[in-house]
Amino acid sequence: MLSEKIIDENKQGQAIVTLDKKGNTKKLFIESYGCQMNMSDSEIVASILSEEGFDTTQNLEDADLVLVNTCSIREKAEQTIRKRLQKYNRVKRINPEMKIGVLGCMAERLKTKFLEEEKVVDLVVGPDAYRDLPNLVKEVEAGKDAINVILSKEETYGDVTPVRLNTNGVSAFISITRGCDNMCTFCVVPFTRGRERSRDPQSIVEEAQDLWDKGYKEITLLGQNVDSYLWYGGGLKKDFDKASDIAKATAVDFAKLLDIVATALPKIRIRFATSNPQDMSLDVLHTMAKHDNICKYIHLPVQSGSTRMLEKMNRQHTREEYMELIDNVKKIIPNCAISQDMIAGFCGETEEDHQETLSLMEYVKYDFGFMFAYSERPGTLAAKKMEDDVPLEVKKRRLSEIINLQQQHSLFHMEKMIGQTVEVLIEGNSKKSDVHWMGRTTQNAVVVFPKGSEHVGDFVNIKIEDCTSATLLGTKA
Where along the sequence are the contacts to ligand SAH (CB under 6 A)?
35, 73-74, 186-187, 189, 224-225, 274, 301, 303, 341, 343, 372, 374-375, 377
Q: Is 249 helix (H, G, I), strand (E, B) or coil?
A: helix
- Looking at residue 399, its amino acid is L
- The least CB distance from residue 120 to ligand SAH, in Å, is 27
Residue 429 CA to residue 435 CA, distance in Å, equals 8
Q: Which does 190 bind (CB under 5 to 8 A by kind): ligand F3S, ligand SAH, none?
A: ligand F3S
- Of 17 and 71, which CB lies nearer to ligand F3S in the complex structure? 71
- Of 225 and 442, which CB lies nearer to ligand F3S in the complex structure? 225
What is the H or E stretch that residue 102 is in? strand 99-103
Q: Which does 343 bind (CB under 5 to 8 A by kind): ligand F3S, ligand SAH, none?
A: ligand SAH
* 176 interacts with ligand F3S by CB under 6 A: no
* 222 interacts with ligand F3S by CB under 6 A: no
Q: Which does 445 bind (CB under 5 to 8 A by kind): ligand F3S, ligand SAH, none?
A: none
Q: Which does 375 bind (CB under 5 to 8 A by kind): ligand SAH, ligand F3S, none?
A: ligand SAH
- Of 177 and 430, which CB lies nearer to ligand F3S in the complex structure? 177
- The least CB distance from residue 299 to ligand SAH, in Å, is 7
Length, in residues, of the chain = 477
Q: CA 191 → CA 47, 107, 114, 381, distances in Å?
A: 26, 11, 16, 11
Among 40, 47, 276, 406, binds ligand F3S (CB under 6 A): 276
- Of 220 and 303, which CB lies nearer to ligand SAH in the complex structure? 303
Q: Is 124 helix (H, G, I), strand (E, B) or coil?
A: strand
- Of 63 and 343, which CB lies nearer to ligand SAH in the complex structure? 343
Residue 439 CA to residue 471 CA, distance in Å, equals 10
Q: Which does 374 bind (CB under 5 to 8 A by kind): ligand F3S, ligand SAH, none?
A: ligand SAH
- Looking at residue 433, its amino acid is S
Q: Is 87 helix (H, G, I), strand (E, B) or coil?
A: helix
- The least CB distance from residue 179 to ligand F3S, in Å, is 9
Q: CA 197 → CA 36, 116, 129, 152, 284, distances in Å?
A: 18, 32, 15, 9, 19
* 190 interacts with ligand F3S by CB under 6 A: yes
Q: Angle 256-171-275 (CA atoms, 0-180°, nearest 5)? A: 40
DSSP 173-204: EEE-EE------TT--HHHHH-S-EE--HHHH
Q: CA 460 → CA 179, 335, 470, distances in Å?
A: 37, 19, 20
Among 182, 198, 220, 304, binds ligand F3S (CB under 6 A): 182
Q: Which does 73 bind (CB under 5 to 8 A by kind): ligand SAH, ligand F3S, none?
A: ligand SAH
- The least CB distance from residue 368 to ligand SAH, in Å, is 13
* 175 interacts with ligand F3S by CB under 6 A: no
- The least CB distance from residue 377 to ligand F3S, in Å, is 10
Q: Mark the segment that binds ligand F3S (CB under 6 A) among 186-194, 246-254, 413-421, 433-441.
A: 186-194
Residue 399 CA to residue 345 CA, distance in Å, equals 8
Residue 436 CA to residue 471 CA, distance in Å, equals 13
Q: CA 23 → CA 42, 213, 380, distances in Å?
A: 22, 26, 46
Identify the sign of the CA torsion 46, 50, 53, 55: positive
- Of 50 and 225, which CB lies nearer to ligand SAH in the complex structure? 225
- Of 180 and 472, which CB lies nearer to ligand F3S in the complex structure? 180
Query: Using CB under 6 A as the criterion, which residues of the chain lie in contact with ligand F3S when the complex forms?
Result: 180, 182-184, 187, 189-190, 224-225, 276
